[in-house]
Amino acid sequence: MKVSVGLPTGMEGMMYPVPFAGVHDLIAIAKRAEALGYDSVWGNDHMTTQRYVREEFPTPPNFWEILTTYAYIAAETTRLRMGTGMLVLPMRRDIVVAAKQIATIDHLSRGRLEIGIGIGAYREEFEALHPGWKTHRGRMVEEAFQALDVLYNQRISNFDGEFYKFADVEMYPKTFQRVLPTYVGGNNINALERTVKYATGWLPASLEVEVLRRNVQKLHQLAADAGRSPSSIEVAPQYIVYVGRTQEEAVARYKKSQMHKHLLSLSQSTLKDQVDVKLEDINLVGTPEVVIEKARALRDAGATHLLGLYFAVNDLPEFHEQMEIFAKEIVPHI
Sketch out the chain's domains with CATH numbers: 2-333 (3.20.20.30)
pLDDT at 285 over 90: yes
Reported as a single tens digit per residue, the pLDDT across 130-173 is 898 888 888 999 999 999 999 999 999 999 999 999 999 999 99
- Section 253-268 average pLDDT: 84
Tell me the pTM: 0.94
pLDDT at 200 over 60: yes
Q: What's the pLDDT at 9?
A: 98
pLDDT at 206 over 80: yes
Q: What's the pLDDT at 93?
A: 87
Banded model confidence at residue 176, pLDDT cuts 50, 70, 90: very high
- The closest of 210, 215, 216, 208 to 282, measured between CA atoms, is 208
Q: What percentage of residues in the chain have a pLDDT greater than 90?
A: 87
Tally of helices (H runs) and strands (E runs) in the chain? 13, 12
Contacts of 236 (CB under 8 A, 6+ apart): 2, 183, 201, 202, 203, 303, 304, 305, 306, 307
Q: What is the mean pLDDT of the chain?
A: 94
pLDDT at 275 over 60: no
- The closest of 126, 15, 122, 36 to 79, measured between CA atoms, is 36
